[in-house]
Amino acid sequence: MNYHNLAYTDVAIAAALILVNGLLSLLLKLQLERQLLIASLRTITQLLAIGYILGWVFQHAQWYIVLPLMLSMTLIAGFSAAGRGQLRHRGQLADSVLSVGLSAWLVTAIGLFVVLRVRPWYEPQYAIPILGMILGNTLTAVALGIDRMTRELSAQRPVVDMILSLGGTRWEAARAAASQALKAGMMPTLNQMSVVGIVSLPGMMTGQILAGQQPGDAVRYQIVIMFLIAAASALGTVCAVLMTFNRLFSPAHQFMAHKLAKRS
């Protein structure tokens, strides 16, 4: 099996295919030309940039270089998890960063130290893509969990207050919303796990096969990654839901609905 190296001319040919989209847009007057151009340029520059950064990091495989990169990936993931959803509240950013960070790092550590036993642990070839995949999925789970929790509480406010009025604790009042939120956070991973290999071939596995790896090996890696992602998403959602609960309910068993504001 030979690995075919791509030259920039090959990339240019593929990039030219965007003209198909451009032509369609012109013919059908979709007025997407500007957006298409910007999106294409972003794809090219962002990926080239990350390619250079990764290339440089791989050559300088030191913990003091890998660790800051992993930290900034985590922060970006946490910030983008906090930026989604219909409602926002004070503390959402801190909660998102913490739940994405804690769960992704814990599970990545298990993956690197216990499952793959990578030495040294910060070997960028492993540490960066594995953390990246886990972060990407955990941030979605955390964003979905917080969004569902806040929307559910806001929509069900009369029921929440009713349970509190009848002597319910704050947790009893929030429980229905919290379990909806946990389900919402875990659902994408569960769906992915049940169709993987049948409907979709995951990018990582495909990449390994393209790079000349035996499919059997690639599949084993993919299985490990799927379970790491599942664990991190679940853990991240639980953290995020509990933190949101703590933000919106006072120790005096009051639902502080005024803390929820529509995102502008």
Residue whose CB is less far from another protein, 156 or 233: 156
What CA–CA distances, in Å, run from 10 to 22, 29, 36, 254? 20, 30, 20, 62
Residue whose CB is less far from another protein, 123 or 161: 161
In the complex, least distance from residue 166 CB atom to another protein, rounded to whole angstroms? 4
Q: What residues line the site for another protein (CB under 8 A)?
A: 158-159, 161-169, 172, 250-256, 258
Residue whose CB is less far from another protein, 72 or 169: 169
Compute the half-sphere exposure of residue 125: CA atoms within 13 Å on the CB side of its CA.
6
Residue whose CB is less far from another protein, 108 or 150: 150
DSSP 254: -
In the complex, least distance from residue 91 CB atom to another protein, rounded to whole angstroms? 16
What CA–CA distances, in Å, run from 157 to 90, 154, 248, 253, 254? 19, 5, 12, 14, 11
CA dist 41 and 15 (Å) reads 10
In the complex, least distance from residue 259 CB atom to another protein, rounded to whole angstroms? 10
In the complex, least distance from residue 174 CB atom to another protein, rounded to whole angstroms? 13
Q: Which residues contact 40 (CB under 8 A, 6 or more apart)?
A: 15, 18
Residue whose CB is less far from another protein, 29 or 258: 258
In the complex, least distance from residue 157 CB atom to another protein, rounded to whole angstroms? 9
